[in-house]
Structure formats: C-alpha cells, structure tokens
Amino acid sequence: MPSSDESDSSVDTREAIMEATFRALSKHGYSDLRMRDIGEELDMSRTLIHYHYDGKHDLISAFLEYIVDKYEGNVEVTEETDPWSELDRRIDQCLFGTELDDEFGHWERMRVYHDLFSQAQHNELYQEILSEHYERLRESIIQVLERGIEEEVFHKVDAEEMSQLITDIIHVARERRISLGQESAPKQARSAIDDYILSSLVKPEFVISSIKQSSNDGN
C-alpha cells in the first residue's frame, strides 16, 4: 500500500527517477541521453522529473550522488579485522565488486560511473562530486595503511603516496575493462598491486626470517 505521507512518497518518487535514470544511461550512454529517455523508463508521470529536478545537469548530479553512495559503504570490516585482510577486501571490492540487492550488476554501475567520470572535465558540479568520491576511496586505503603501520603489521611506507597509487591502479583497471573491453584488467591489476606495491608493506625482518625458514627446511 503506497504511503500517504508526502515526504515518504517524495522519497519513493526520487528513488524511482534515479532507477529510471540508471536504466536510461545504461541503454543510451550519457552523450545520447535525452530527458525524455528517462521519462520513458519511468513508471509514473514524466512531469514528476521536472518537478523534482531542474534540467539534465541537476538530475545527473543527483544521480551521481546516488550511484556513488551505492558504490561505497559495503565493505564488511570491523575493528577486529586485521590490516592485511581489510586491505585485501577493500581492493577486491573496488576491483571485482559486490552484488547489491538491486536490479543492476556491479559492472553496469561501473559502466555508468566511468561514463559520467569523463564528463567531469565539462561540468564543475560533476567534478566536485567525483573528486570527493575519489578522495574518499583514497582515504579509506590511507586509514588501513596507517593502522597497519601503527600496529607494526606493515613496514613503514608513505601511506599518502601508496594509497593514491592503489586507488589509481584500481580506477584505470576498471576503465580498461569498460572502455577497451579488456576483461582480465582487474585481475592483472590485482597481481600488479601485490607484486609492486603491497610487497613494500612486508617487514624486512619477515622476509629475512622466511628465507632462513626455507633454508632450514632444506629448500
């Protein structure tokens, strides 16, 4: 039964418009998107779009906030999760995604996200939203790096530089998969991150003791 509370129904309407925008963007891409394509995906009066949003840029800005929210916040970590596991989970979630309980898959969300990312050079508001989001991802990596360094699990590194690099490699791997159709890009990126970046987090004494261990084992 639909709620008669106006603010509730307004939230529902906005959610329906966001979902319609998602479907329309997936189908047409940003460049070819017209307001009426969104209207065609909407199961209610199209005038509601114009009532809630002031044109294409306003609607797409709201949509960006919406998709960025969906993208984040679902890495399951607690204070008990050790830094290595947390770092792994964060990287894997960004690279391989988690399926949410909605009609859209991870790569469908990423496809739309990367399509809008490229528009940031033409639109200051999109740029602001996307810059903040990029920064939040980077911050979440900085935090786990700093925690691991503090807990003496990780070797001391420049957490700012390393987290920027990890965030960048994740971004470009998704883009290669989406724009160039290179399906294996996220897997390649994961190996490269392990080989070239996370290897610096291993404490030197751990490396030395593993070498000793393996020579004691007669290997």
Rule CB under 8 A: which residues touch a copy of itself?
Answer: 29-32, 111, 114-115, 117-122, 127, 130-131, 134, 158, 161-162, 164-165, 168-169, 171-173, 175-176, 178-182, 188-189, 191-192, 195-197, 200
Residue 122: CB minimum distance to a copy of itself, A? 5
Residue 191: CB minimum distance to a copy of itself, A? 7
Distances (CA, A) of 95 to 9, 26, 111: 36, 20, 13
Which residue's CB is nearer to a copy of itself, number 66 or number 134?
Answer: 134
Residue 157: CB minimum distance to a copy of itself, A? 9
Which residue's CB is nearer to a copy of itself, number 14 or number 57?
Answer: 57
Q: Determine the 3-state secondary structure of 104 from DSSP.
A: coil
Q: What angle do CA 86, 96, 115 make, to 5 degrees?
A: 120
- By the 10 Å C-beta count (0-12 exposed, 13-18 middle, 19+ buried), 212 is classed as exposed
Residue 178: CB minimum distance to a copy of itself, A? 5
Which residue's CB is nearer to a copy of itself, number 29 or number 55?
Answer: 29
Which residue's CB is nearer to a copy of itself, number 123 or number 143?
Answer: 123
Both tokens assigned to 39:
């209207």
Single out the residue of 142, 137, 139, 133 nearest to residue 83, CA to CA: 142
CA distance 134 to 130: 6
